[in-house]
Structure 1
Amino acid sequence: MLKIGLVDDRMIDLDKLNAIISGMENVEIVFSTLSAEEAYEQIKKETIDLLIADIEMPNLSGYELADIIHSHALSIAVIFVTANSGYAVHAFELNVHDYIMKPYSKDRLTTSIERLLEKNQSAEIAGRLYLKQKNDIHIIQKKDIIFIERSGRSSTIHTKKDQLKTYLTLNELEGELRERDFIRSHRSFIINIHYVKNFSLYAKNSYTVAFEGIEAQAMITKEKVDFLQEYYF
């Protein structure tokens, strides 16, 4: 099920989006609003997979919304539906899924959304980590990994529900976790930035990392904290 947020400051255009998308299978409209500011608030508290937005809107633009999504590494695809072709190059820089010019046909929009559905289905398979342990193979959703810690000869993978040990090195695991969500925070840790709750100063050049949902903590260097502040948060 693809969860979608809609924003356009013209009611006639928003109604058209709602009418087309509500007739599609495997999609759900989570919010539909005339206000980009309201869309931003919804993005912060609701889980969506796709934002369909006009670009030129009062106060906060659709381009600025997409820039927030991109700079915060949020897993939200963006489709611009706009009457202005002037942002096409910038949209490419933000890696948006599609750029649709008004007026558009129903098929033009539905084809774009169906293409995203197919892409997500492929990514779901690719978004798994396969761990061989003796006679067992454990399959972990990468998005469920909170952090990984190296201790001695093994690595411990902390997920939402449990902990799994593997003899794979952090370098090997880092190669498997090429998603932008994961960073090598310390020589002994890989963290998923989406679960980070706060950093606490531990020593002159290092911090502890607290996460949402678990008590276990990781370590991060001051250099990596500075990097996250500049490029992610």
Structure 2
Amino acid sequence: MIKVGLVDDEKYDLEKLIVTLAQVPDIEIIFSVNSSEEAYELIKKAEIDLLITDIEMPALSGYELADFISTYALDIKVIFVTAHSGFAVHAFDLEVLDYIMKPYSKDRLLKGVARYREKTEAKEAHGKLILKQKTEMQIIDKKDIIFLERTGRSTTIVTVDGEYATYQSLSELEPEFPFRFFLRSHRAFIVNIHYIKNFSLYTKHSYSISFQHTAKTALITKSNLDILQKDYF
């Protein structure tokens, strides 16, 4: 779920943002205000992931809000929505996620939000997985994981460097893996789609998956293979 804050001193423009984003299932609007000063106080609580703001506003500008976020290294991305192009260079300096010119289409706004998803998922995919074991914790690079398999009371994680075991279930581990890179292919498997080499018919309703870097195989149901073909390839 992406937690979003909205600020625009123009009532119509703020309502347009609300109406557009309220239709997106994975977005939760935490606040929507006309006052940049009010937004400033809410931002300090750091309860949002993404701020979508106008630039030219009374009291504090959107640029000043973004500068505050950058100065204090808050984990909040910023999208500017403005009628003025003159702030684009400053936006680049602040590493603003997107710069959208008014008037804009619904698709243009959602494209900006999609950039947030892509950056977040890429960060998650290249992050670390901490495996909880009985006497220690193992740290693994997610990008090196080929697939995970649940057998009995143990989960085996096959990587390009070897195998690891943990008592954590696939249901516990699944939230660690972004949908764009990993797929729960079967009740017993989570696979990294980037290492898939080919599929072979296994039963009437499932296929065997072969991977790069390992001779081991995983399973995928026919319905999940259809999802994989539609959403990934």
- Shorter-chain TM-score tier: 0.5 to 0.7
Paired residues, what number?
Answer: 141
2:5 aligned counterpart, secondary structure = strand
- 2:110 aligns with 110
Displacement of 1:119 in angstroms is 1.8
- 1:84 aligns with 84
TM-score when normalising by structure 1: 0.56
Q: Cα deviations across residues 59-82 of structure 1 (Å, max 9, x unaligned)?
A: 111000000000111110000000
- 1:75 aligns with 75
Amino acid at match of 2:92: F
The whole-number CA distance in structure 2 between the counterparts of 1:136 and 1:122 is 27
Could you tell me which runs of 5 or more consecutive residues in structure 2 were left unpaired when the two chains were aligned: 141-233
The whole-number CA distance in structure 1 between the counterparts of 2:135 and 2:52 is 46
Displacement of 1:134 in angstroms is 11
Displacement of 1:8 in angstroms is 0.1
Shift in alpha-carbon separation, 1:61–1:130, aligned structure 2, 3 A? same
Amino acid at match of 2:10: R
The whole-number CA distance in structure 2 between the counterparts of 1:70 and 1:134 is 40
TM-score when normalising by structure 2: 0.56
- 2:6 aligns with 6
Amino acid at match of 1:71: T
Displacement of 1:44 in angstroms is 1.4
- 2:58 aligns with 58
- 2:38 aligns with 38
The whole-number CA distance in structure 1 between the counterparts of 2:30 and 2:132 is 38
The whole-number CA distance in structure 2 between the counterparts of 1:17 and 1:133 is 46
Instruction: Please provide the CA RMSD for this pair.
Output: 2.5
Displacement of 1:137 in angstroms is 4.9
When Rg is computed on C-alpha atoms for both structures, the one with the higher figure is 2
Displacement of 1:112 in angstroms is 1.2
Q: Does 1:28 pair with 2:40? A: no
Q: Cα deviations across residues 89-128 of structure 1 (Å, max 9, x unaligned)?
A: 0000000000000000000001110221122122123343
Displacement of 1:56 in angstroms is 0.2
The whole-number CA distance in structure 1 between the counterparts of 2:93 and 2:85 is 15
Displacement of 1:57 in angstroms is 0.2
Runs of 4+ in 1 over 4 A off after TM superposition: 129-137
The whole-number CA distance in structure 2 between the counterparts of 1:15 and 1:85 is 22
